[in-house]
Amino acid sequence: MYKEKIEKWGLFEWSGEGYSEGNSFRDYDIKAVIKSSDEEKCVRGFYDGDGIYKVRFMPSFEGKYEFRIEGSFSDKVSTGSFEVTAPAGNNRGPVGVCDTYHFKYADGTPYYSIGTTCYVWELQSDELIEKTFKSLEDAGFNKIRFCVFPKHYDFNLREPRSYPYVGTPVDSSGITSENFQDYTGRTDGNDWDLYRFNPEHFRHIERCIARLADMGIEADIIVFHPYDRWGFSMMSGDQDIFYIDYLIRRFSAFRNVWWSMANEYDLFERKNLADWETIGSYFMKNDPYGHLRSIHNCKEFYDHSRSWITHCSIQRQDVYRTAENTDEWRDKYKKPVVLDEISYEGDIQHGWGNISAEEMVRRFWETAMRGGYPGHGETYYDKDDILWWSHGGELHGESWKRFKFLLRILKETRGHGLKSDNSDWKNWDSVMAVPEDDAKFKETGYRIFYYSFMRPSFRIFDMEDNIKYRAEVIDTWNMTVTDAGVHSGRFRIDLPGRQYMAVRLVAQN
C-alpha cells in the first residue's frame, strides 16, 4: 500500500501486514532497497502496531524509483515503483549547513532560522494544538523545538495526551508546583515496557511534523530531556538505542526533521559524555538523510566541535550577555550558531523566564547581525498554566510580532548569511553586519549597522568615494524601513535617538 506519485523530498510510505507474534517492535525486521537512476538507498522500516509494518523514504531526485522490501516480518518480498515529481508549495527540501556558519534548503534557498521553543505543544489537546499552528503561522517562525517524551516541571504537572510506551505512569495526583521537584528523576511508581512502543504516540507526532513541513517549519526534535517523572531520562543504554533507532526509522523520512539529542544534556543523572557520544554518533551513522544534529546545554556547553554535531544549539550561560557572544562561538566551533534559548519573554518567577519583549527582540537582532540564529520563547503567567514555552497555544507577548520583519531583512541579505565585521574601530559600539562572503560583494557593498540599546541621534559614515550607497533607517521595534537618500564618501544619517535602530547601506549598481 503506497502512493505512486510523490514530490521530491516528500514522504514515500509503504505499509503491509506482517507477523505479530511476540514483540513485533523487537522480534522482526524490515528493510528496503529503493533506487532511481540518481540514487540508491537502503532504509529500515518499523512496526506500527496492529500487525502493520511500514517503510518510509524521502527521495532526493525527481523521476522513477523502484523498491524492494523484505525482512523477517514476512516471508513475502514486496516490490514496486513510484514516480517522484517536482517539489511544490513550501517544499524546498531538508535544511543543511552552508558556508560553515549558515543553512540552506536542499534546493539552494538560504534558510534563516527564526525558531521558537514549545517543549510539549504536540502532546496537548487537539484544540490547543490547533491554536499553536495558528500562532506559528501568525508569527512566521520557521523552526520549532519540541520533545518526543512528555515533560514534568513547574506548570507541567498534567498527564500528556499519550505515552510513548505501553504501561502505566506514576500516580500524579499529589504533585504540586511546590513539591514537583521531589518527583523529578524518579522511576518508581511507573510500570512501562520499554521495548514496546505506543504507536499512536508517534503517529500523532508525525502528523504534527508533516503539518509543520507543509507550513515550511522545521521540526527540531528533542530526543531526550531531564524534566521527567516517568523514567524516560533514566533508561539503560540498550533501551536508549532501541528508542532512537525507532525514531530514525519512523521520523527520518520527514524532510523537516532536525535531531536535538537532548535538552540540557548536563542535567541527566544517568548519562555521561560517553552516552551522549554514543547517541549522537548513532544518529550520524543511521539516519539515511543526514538531518541536522545538535545537543543543547543547561550550564556547561557540550564540545560542539564533535564531528556528529552539525551546529551549535546554545542556551545562554550568562544572565546578561548571550547574543553578544555569537561571534565568539562561531570562531570557536566553526559551525552555525543557533541560540535556542536566550531567555523567555514573560513574567514568571523563574529568572530564565521573564525578560521584556524589547530585550527579546534586541537579542534576536544582536544574534542575527552577528551571523547567528536566535530562538524565541514565551512564559507569561497563565491561570490555566498554558505557557507557550511548553504548551504552545496563543502568544501573549510582543516580541513574536517582530520576527517576520527580521526575517524579511535577512532574506534581503546578499549571499547566504551575515557576519559581524569588527575591523573598523569606529564601529566598536555597534554591530556592523556584512555578507558572510563579503569579498564577493566588496564591489557592490552591503552593510547593516545595528545600534542595539544605544540611542544615537545621528551617525557619521565613512564609505568609499566611488560607490553610491542607498541608505535606509531601520526601526527594528516599530518595523519600519525609511529611505535616507543616496550617499558616497563621508556622510551623516539622522536617527531618532531611540533604542533598537539600525542603518542599512546598499550599494547601487
Which positions lie near its own copies, rule CB under 8 A?
318-321, 324, 346-352, 354-356, 359, 381, 428-430, 452-460, 497, 499
C-beta of 503: minimal distance to its own copies in Å?
12
Q: Give me 45's grid cell.
A: 522500516
Q: Least separation, in Å, of the C-beta of 356 and its own copies?
A: 6
Contact 326, 367 (CB under 8 A): yes
DSSP, res 306: S
The least distance separating its own copies from the CB of residue 343, rounded to whole angstroms, comes to: 8
Contact between 260 and 294 under an 8 Å Cβ cutoff? The reply is yes
Q: Which is nearer to its own copies, 143 or 391 (CB)?
A: 391
Cell triple for residue 27? 522480534
Nearest-angstrom CA–CA distance, 506 and 473? 12
Buried b (16+ CB within 10 A) or exposed e, 212-226: bbebbbbbbbbbbbb
Quote the least distance from Cβ 428 to its own copies, whole Å: 7
Q: Which of 205, 309, 193 is nearest to 250 (CA)?
A: 205
Residue whose CB is less far from its own copies, 173 or 320: 320
Q: From the CB of 227, what's the least distance to its own copies, in Å? A: 17
For its own copies, the closer of residues 154 and 240 by Cβ is: 154
CA 360 distance to own-chain centroid: 18
Q: Which is nearer to its own copies, 127 or 318 (CB)?
A: 318
Strands 458-462 and 446-450: unpaired
Nearer Cβ to its own copies, position 277 or 359? 359
DSSP-based three-state secondary structure for 385: coil
- Residue owning grid cell 506559528: 136
- Strand order of the β-sheet with 312-315 is 293-294, 257-262, 218-224, 143-147, 115-117, 373-376, 337-341, 312-315
**Which of 346, 435 has the CB closer to its own copies?**
346
Contact 423, 462 (CB under 8 A): no
Q: Compute the least distance from the CB of residue 120 to its own copies, in Å.
A: 23
Write down the least CB distance from residue 337 to its own copies, Å. 17
Among residues 107 and 331, whose Cβ is nearest to its own copies?
331
E strand or H helix at 273, and its extent? helix 273-286
